[in-house]
Structure 1
Amino acid sequence: MGSDQSIFKEILEKRLLPGLSVCICAIATVIIWREFRRINWGLVWESLNNLSMVQLGIACFFILCSYGAISNYDLLAFRYIKKRLSPWKIAFAGLITYAISPNVGFAFLSGSMLRYRLYRQWHISNIEIAQIIAFTNLNLWVGLLPVSGLIFALFEFSLPTAIELPFFSHSLQGFGIFCLGMSSLYALGTVMLTKPLRWHNYHFQFPSLGISLQQILIFSLDWGFAALALHGLLDAPIAYPAFFGIYVLAMVAGLISTIPGGLGIFETVMLFFLQSTQTEEVILATLIVFRVLYYLLPFSIAVTALLWFEYWQTTKTN
């Protein structure tokens, strides 16, 4: 019996998981091709011609800073589970996952499979990988609730009529207060609930308050630098704090609402707030450039890096 289990484990880790990783890369390649075909490249080149090299350079720098912040999500997860591994390996796994999974779709599933593949290769146990996956998926909400809560509670925003938020269609300030309340409850849990919460065979241990504050900081740097990159590309006459509020609102609307047909929700919200500053064509072209720089370019690099990793692992074991 033990021999059969070891054979199955060897097949899983040396054949099935690398194959699964390559399948994700194949799906990602198809998506890249479809996205690149869908883009109006004439509009992109025209927009690029209107952007200075300084603007592009600054935007690329802020995008690198954003991805630098993103690489810390998995590093913080290892601190949470009190497990040691080379920081370079952790950052590599985190960046590969965060660059590929949101673009492939089914981000939780594809991200979980990628983390399982990479971390099993470095002898992290199944339970520890499950904890890392849960922690990194929690990061978004731990950071998003207080940041968006503060912005919506302190500043007046009105949504486009095509977008409705459940229960809060008339007052984003009410939504902001709700987010701050949820964030406060979570913070209270990190202080008060020091023992794991148990349900049947499952248990959840709240991160410490210190780790939770670091989650919020990393999230703020992640979205903050991304917003700085877009702010520099648009060159809109809007102060950065207000622009960051618009960026967060556009991202949140994309997360929790839907819009029938037409433009994406993110683009719709950005157009709604910026249409008085520039022409619609310029804004849309710049948003496409931002999407290429922030999403598609790192996506392509991550797929190439993952394929190289699988090839290197194959040659090493043969």
Structure 2
Amino acid sequence: MSVAAEARQKKPKRNKWFWIKRLTTIAFFILIPTLLYFQARNIDWQEVAATLRTYPPGILIIGAGIALVSYFVYCAFDLLGRYYTRHGLPVKQVVPVAFVCYAFNLNMGALVGGVAFRYRLYSRLGLDVPTITRVLTLSMITNWLGYIILAGGIFALGLITLPESWEIGGTGLRILGVGLWIVAAAYLLACGLSKRRSWHWRGHEILLPPLRMALVQAGLGALNWSLMALLIYLMMPEDAFYPTILGILMISSIAGVITHIPAGLGVIEVVFITALQHQFAKSELLAALIAYRALYFILPLVIACIIYMVLENRSKTLRNQQ
């Protein structure tokens, strides 16, 4: 077969993928502004502003700092993925991508932020799909490993008291905590002792990280959840108990995942009010949670939108230069 004939056969295939990518990009740019619009409609901006005015500026600055540190811890998840996959992208490119993904993940759900943004932005930087999948998988495991360890400890040690109307009860919660610790221990033992280090699933290779990396995963994941709870605790009345706040956050986060509501709108509030209404006034709880949402969800989302526009503009400039 001549070179010209081969080129004619390959051209339609290239055109096919060109149009698939083009349509996907158009759909992406339609979907994101639409989701942002509906997200903004669900926020009572006057209530947010009024609530924030009730806090001293120093508390809000400290809260914003805690949120920022938490987001950089999340960026460390992807930096760990960089070491895990050895993909070679510089840190200055990984951090903005991870920040954008985390902000959109929290506000719009894992499918949009954790998956769609990560594949789009990393692929624009030259990573292939298998590598992006491994970074995404490691990031998810890091996040939930930290959750399992913290929640297991809080539940097993009985550091949170549930309302009597909740069916699971204190004993059931302790059993759940022990079960979570067993899961975390099984993962760490597998990373340290397993002789088989890789598996193949749907064409993707899954590599078991070494024990040292798994311990770093556990530390980063637990630190991130602890910082989220610390921000809520900072906004709460003075006699709030930090382990209780952390435990309720653990419960509300699972409830948010089960309901598939972006940012857990309404879910976190219901769980916290139900669990703490016998200790604090509903107005105090709502104020704390509104401030938490403003500092941990809305502010980072605004920053992420700016970073995303910069990344897209930079990518467009590079394409025009090629």
TM (normalized to structure 1)?
Answer: 0.84
Match of 1:152 in 2: 155
Give aligned pairs, total. Answer: 311
Asked if the contact 2:147/2:225 (under 8 Å) is kept, the reply is no
Equivalent residue, structure 2, for 1:298: 300
Q: 1:273 aligns with which of 259, 263, 275?
A: 275
The residue aligned with 1:223 is: 225
Query: 1:159·1:269 contact (CA, 8 Å) conserved in 2?
Result: no
Unaligned stretches of 5+ residues in structure 1: none
Q: Does 1:111 align with 2:114?
A: yes
SS in 1 for 2:196: coil
In the TM superposition, what is the alpha-carbon distance from 1:9 to its structure 2 partner?
6.1
Note if 1:65 corresponds to 2:69. Answer: yes
Find out whether 1:255 has 2:252 as its counterpart.
no
Residues 236/267 of structure 1: CA separation in 2 closer, same or farther (3 Å cut): farther
Matches within 5 A, 1:121-160: 121-160=124-163
Question: Greater relative contact order (Cα 8 A, min sep 6): structure 1 or 2?
Answer: 1
Q: CA deviation at 1:169?
A: 8.6
| SS of structure 2 residue aligned to 1:171 | helix
1:284-305 CA-partner distances (Å, limit 9, x unpaired): 1331221122112212321232
1:136 to partner: Cα distance:
1.8
1:1-318 map, 5 Å = 1=6, 17=21, 20=24, 23-105=27-109, 107-108=110-111, 110-160=113-163, 171-199=172-200, 201-256=203-258, 264-318=266-320
Aligned-pair identity in percent equals 25
What residue is the counterpart of 2:3 in the other structure? Answer: none
Q: Answer whether contact 1:47 1:282 (CA < 8 A) is retained.
A: no
TM-score by length of 2: 0.83
User: Alpha carbons of 1:112 and 1:4: their partners in 2 closer, same or farther (altered >3 Å)?
Assistant: farther
Backbone CA RMSD of aligned residues? 3.1
- Superposed CA offset, 1:1-59 (max 9, x none): 5786588669858x765764564454333333333333333432332222111111111
Does the 8 Å CA contact 1:28/1:100 hold for their aligned counterparts? Answer: no
Q: Compared with structure 1, are the counterparts of its residues 42 and 191 closer, same or farther at alpha carbon in structure 2 (3 Å cutoff)? A: same
Paired AA for residue 234 in structure 1: M
CA–CA separation in structure 2 for the residues paired with 1:150 and 1:140: 16
Cα deviations across residues 102-129 of structure 1 (Å, max 9, x unaligned)? Answer: 4233x14653332222222222233212
Instruction: Check whether the contact 2:145–2:217 (CA below 8 A) recurs between aligned residues.
Output: yes
Larger Rg: 2
